[in-house]
Amino acid sequence: MNDMKTLSALDGSPVDLTHVVKPVLDSGGAAAPGAATHPPRILLLYGSVRERSYSRLASEEAARLLQAMGAETRTFSPSGLPLPDDAPESHPKVQELRQLAAWAEGMVWCSPERHGAMTGILKAQIDWIPLSEGAVRPTQGKTLALMQVSGGSQSFNALNQMRVLGRWMRMLTIPNQSSIAKAFLEFDEAGRMKPSAYHDRVVDVMEELLKFTLLTRDVSPWLVDRYSERKESAAALSARVNQASL
């Protein structure tokens, strides 16, 4: 992996990222023999389709930081995604979302807080991602970072809801999180996040997400392996064997 990249500040000058710890993968400090060496794959979802969507702008800032730290990122646009159960699973936007979820090793969810809750736009995206699809589990054992933007004072309602959803989707939701209050003051006209304590927290969260992803992606199947599921699989196999012997 290349050395740490730099980001451009509002005036075009490089942003100092020397205090950002390089990914574990880059240093090799915690990589086990035979561990994956490709850049961590991170999918970003945001919860608004407004022309100037602050959740989208925050996600774009997060993506730039993740790329500077050495990750590969993709962002899903929710525009055109149908309501859950209001279209077949073959719908192009549903297929796009599910393919990205399968591709990702970690995710970032960013939602505005609307009426004291996460938006239906973000929830619809999560609802279209199944817990299992054949032998593939698109989210189980993958890492997750959470962010929210607010039009008023700082709040954590959307974050708390998304954390519950992350657990339900069997994801490894990192402890740190970001809540950006009065988001309309935190981005410039070009959509870049201004230097602030809020921006520093976004850096913290993305750095932590990358570390957790690097530390767990090679062992996530083992981390989420369950006795009850092994028992069910063994019982199903035994039933098939007995049926075949009749």
Return the number of other C-beta atoms located less than 10 Å from residue 103's C-beta: 13
Gap between the Cα atoms of 78 and 69, Å rounded: 26
pLDDT at residue number 104: 96
| pLDDT (tens digit per residue) in 88-107 | 999 999 999 999 999 999 99
- pLDDT classification of 24: cutoffs 50, 70, 90: very low
Gap between the Cα atoms of 150 and 57, Å rounded: 13
Write out the DSSP string of 84-111.
Answer: TTSS-TT-HHHHHHHHHHHH-SEEEEEE
| pLDDT (tens digit per residue) in 216-225 | 999 888 887 7
Domain boundaries of the chain, sorted by first residue: 37-245
Residue 29 has pLDDT above 60, yes or no: no
For residues 172 and 210, the answer to whether their CB atoms sit within 8 Å is no
Residue 17 has pLDDT above 80, yes or no: no
pLDDT at residue number 2: 40
Gap between the Cα atoms of 19 and 84, Å rounded: 43
Residue 19 has pLDDT above 70, yes or no: no
Opening angle at CA 191, ends 187 and 195, nearest 5: 40
Which residue in the block uniquely carries the two structure tokens 């519950």? 164
Gap between the Cα atoms of 175 and 143, Å rounded: 11
Residue 206 has pLDDT above 80, yes or no: yes
For residues 126 and 154, the answer to whether their CB atoms sit within 8 Å is no
Give the residue-averaged pLDDT of 24-45. 73
Torsion angle of alpha carbons 135, 43, 66, 196, nearest 10°? -140
| pLDDT (tens digit per residue) in 230-243 | 888 888 888 788 88
Gap between the Cα atoms of 124 and 74, Å rounded: 18
Beta-bridge partners for 43: 74, 107
37-245 folds as Rossmann fold (3.40.50)
Strand order in the sheet with 143-149: 72-76, 41-46, 106-112, 143-149, 172-180
For residues 88 and 141, the answer to whether their CB atoms sit within 8 Å is no
pLDDT at residue number 8: 54
pLDDT at residue number 7: 59
| pLDDT (tens digit per residue) in 106-133 | 999 999 998 989 999 999 999 999 887 7
Residue 22 has pLDDT above 80, yes or no: no
